[in-house]
Amino acid sequence: MLGRISKSSEIISGIPGSGVDHDEIPFSLTEEFVSVYRMHSLLPDNIAFFEAKQGKHQATTPLADLTFQRAQKPLESGISFGDLFYSFGINYPGAITNNNYPNFLRDLHTPDGLHRDMGTVDIVRDRERGVPRYCAFRRMLRMSVPETFEELTGGNKELAEQLSEVYNGDIELVDALVGSHSEPVIPGFGFSETAFRIFIVMASRRLKSDRFIAGQWNAEMYTKEGLHWVQYTTMKDVLTRHFPELEDTLKNSQNAFAPWAMKAESKNYQGIETNAKKI
């Protein structure tokens, strides 16, 4: 409403236009950020494909059959880009929590001929690169540290017993990723507070290092029309501009990043890919 009250303060007027600041070192992503940005649990084992205009279910395909050289199979079978976007909009991602790793990543055969368990790779990578274990990680963030496995899991006794068995009863040995996937999620959050603390720091760091956002955020760089587009165009606008068949769906959706409104025919599909788990 008021524009930039301060020329340099991001606290008063936000990061855009506040000036680039690299904090005296070249911009880089930290090991901590790489550690908490392990979102493999988001990937489902299957994807359900639907037709965008009427919402009719077309196919449900294992994600393992859509990787690497097979990534174009849906398009080659006649599914359009609009259909793909609609399908992704109504398919649920996996929850970022323990015991929810996609099976195909635990048995991953890559084009280079290697066979990997990515769940193991995630943990080994942190250990080999010196990322602190969960409790030490939180201490360095000035966060509280659980004293028991049950406290870590927010009262989930079954998970607490599993973790205690794996880590020989020593909570200090819990890996950063495992711990952050075990702690209870704050209502409204999609992932742990431990990960969020790193995310919020790195997001600000990235924007402050971007000369097109923190620095030359003005009409001289973008043109007056371009700056208006950047500020007022939403992801809904981008999608409907390229795929008009998505307009009816998106106008009834909260935003492009929340689950999209489903067509009537799509609601006939009863698979877990598009239906919340019934408890």
* Structure-token pair, residue 20: 């680039």
Q: What is the pLDDT of residues 105-132, one digit of tens each?
A: 999 999 999 999 999 999 999 999 999 9
Residue 26 has pLDDT above 90, yes or no: no
**Among positive and negative, which fits the CA dihedral 184, 187, 191, 195?**
negative
pLDDT for the residue numbered 10 = 82
Q: Encode burial over 207-218: b for 16+ CB neighbours within 10 A, e otherwise.
A: bbbbeebbbebe
The pLDDT of 176-186, averaged and rounded, is 96
Q: What is the pLDDT of residues 210-223, one digit of tens each?
A: 999 999 999 999 99
Give residue 277's pLDDT band: very low, low, confident or very high (50, 70, 90): confident
pLDDT for the residue numbered 278 = 66
Share of the chain above pLDDT 90, in %: 85
The pLDDT of 46-52, averaged and rounded, is 96
Q: Is the distance from CB of 149 to CB of 163 less than 8 angstroms?
A: yes
Q: Which neighbouring-strand residues pair with 47?
A: 61
Average pLDDT, the chain: 93
Coil/strand/helix, residue 108: strand
Q: Which residues are catalytic?
A: 37
Q: What is the DSSP letter of 201?
A: H
- Residue 163 identity: L
User: Which one, of 63, 73, 72, lies nearest residue 108 by Cα?
Assistant: 63
The pLDDT of 232-260, averaged and rounded, is 93
Share of the chain above pLDDT 70, in %: 98
Stated pTM of the model = 0.87
